[in-house]
Structure 1
Amino acid sequence: MAGVRNIPEIMHRTLFRTVSLLGRGQSVVLGRYFDWWHRTPDPWKLATDEYEHYKYRTTLEQLPDRPYRSILDVGCSEGVFTCMLAENYPEARVTGLDISARALERARARGRHLADRLSFARADLLIPTHNDTYDLVFCAETLYYLGREERLRLAAARLGGLLAPGGLLVAVHPWPEARRLHGHLDSAPGMSKISEHVDEGTHRPFAVSIYQAES
């Protein structure tokens, strides 16, 4: 039965490996794809699903206890976790990035009460238009959309380039698929893995891997 349950995710991954053959055209396709998904609010129930909130709490529990002045959430969708970050770190400037304009409209509405230190921008991780650096960067449930290994290698380099000296990157993806998705992060120059938490006690196991940039 486990194999049967995994068929939709296998088909999902195959689709995005095919889309990645488009090169720069991948950005256009992904933008339209996620705008279509967001034709109705919160299509993945990120605001209400207990599993998602458990994953958010577990992720935050893995972070070193230190001040964070600037935080980036890559692939923020409608900003559920991004707003949680802004609420948990009131001293930080928090930014959410996503490829879907429609998702970002709802993210801005959700975070309106935090607008003095919370912002959102449309961007593609693989196209270097966003060049600020951050103390803390999150990339969750995003890398499998990139497809081929060369795209994952490019993403690892881009994520590393978003870190300020000594900054942390937190990657959160399904386990054991995270072994492959995080593989290029493991070998990326300029940063090293400092911890990994694998949670296999849920219906959809996940890994939280944390990397630190060189100071």
Structure 2
Amino acid sequence: MAQLPEIMHRAFFRTVSLLSPRGQGEVLRRYFDWWHRSPDPWRLGTDGYERHKYEATLGQVPARAYRRILEVGCSEGVFTGLLASAHPQADIMAIDISHRALLRARDRTRGAAARTALVQADLVTLATGRDFDLVFCAETLYYVGRPDRLRRASERLTGVLAPGGVLVMVHPWPEAERLHRFVEDDGAMSRIAHHVHDTSPRPFSVAVYQHHPGAAA
């Protein structure tokens, strides 16, 4: 059962999502810039749980060559560096809404990720072509708030996939069932792998979807 601070946390983001998409993005930018006033506020680079989650995520990715990869919500670039090592031939775009986080991500990935572009962007208003054959979205969707914004964010995630592309989504379990439902209901997407890691105090789900060319949405 969710604890009171977590319930209040989610309620805050639902309230923020009553703003226009641009207004919501501005509040979230300020919020995450504030969090990143100190380096690595969530200990993504040092916490054993986070390392386990990154390894579990990479372990679910279908083995194939990927040309273009998108990481949504890259924060300070810890997972971005792992992606660059795992897929050295791919061009990687890593986006985050926080300018401060991206400055540290550039320092962290400098040299080790020469084929990586770090871009300040908001998932809800993200505009890019349908040309990524691998997309990651982890610990991000609960920030978009109410259902219509969740639907919009989910459409952005599936909309940037190239035909046959793969989408990997990682969120707390069982909340992931709610957060992933619009992708689950997309007729052009099918879930090809799913694993719930429920042995830790913070269970999480890794779900992998594939876009099917020509399928009806």
> TM-score of the superposition, structure 1-length normalised?
0.95
**Structure 2 matches for 1:48-197, cutoff 5 A?**
48-131=46-129, 133-197=131-195
Counterpart contact for 1:20–1:147, Cα < 8 Å: yes
Paired residues, number = 212
Mapped pair 1:26 → 2:24: yes
Partner Cα distance (2:106, 2:127) in 1: 20
**Which amino acid in the other structure matches residue 178 of structure 1?**
A
**Which amino acid in the other structure matches residue 94 of structure 1?**
I
Indicate the residue corresponding to 2:4 in structure 1. 7
Query: Residues 149-205 of structure 1, C-alpha deviation per residue, up to 9 Å, x if partnerless?
Result: 111111111100111110100010000000000011101242121111111011100
Query: Residues 24-47 of structure 1, C-alpha deviation per residue, up to 9 Å, x if partnerless?
Result: 210000000000000000000000
Q: Secondary structure at the match of 2:17?
A: helix
- Root mean square deviation, CA, Å: 1.2
- What displacement does 1:78 show? 0.5
Report % sequence identity.
58
**Which amino acid in the other structure matches residue 70 of structure 1?**
R
Partner Cα distance (2:212, 2:134) in 1: 13
Partner Cα distance (1:138, 1:116) in 2: 19
Counterpart contact for 2:68–2:134, Cα < 8 Å: yes
Partner Cα distance (1:160, 1:42) in 2: 29
Counterpart contact for 1:133–1:161, Cα < 8 Å: no
Q: Secondary structure at the match of 1:168?
A: strand
Q: Secondary structure at the match of 2:111?
A: helix
- What displacement does 1:115 show? 4.5
Of the structure 1 ranges 128-137 and 186-195, higher mean CA displacement relative to structure 2 is found in 128-137
Equivalent residue in structure 2 for 1:37, among 25, 35, 38 = 35
Indicate the residue corresponding to 1:211 in structure 2. 209
Indicate the residue corresponding to 1:200 in structure 2. 198
Partner Cα distance (2:131, 2:98) in 1: 22
**Which amino acid in the other structure matches residue 102 of structure 2?**
L
Counterpart contact for 1:168–1:213, Cα < 8 Å: yes
Q: Secondary structure at the match of 2:18?
A: helix
Of the structure 1 ranges 59-68 and 40-49, higher mean CA displacement relative to structure 2 is found in 59-68
The unaligned stretches of length 5 or more in structure 2 are none
Partner Cα distance (2:60, 2:207) in 1: 9
Q: Secondary structure at the match of 1:211?
A: strand
> TM-score of the superposition, structure 2-length normalised?
0.94
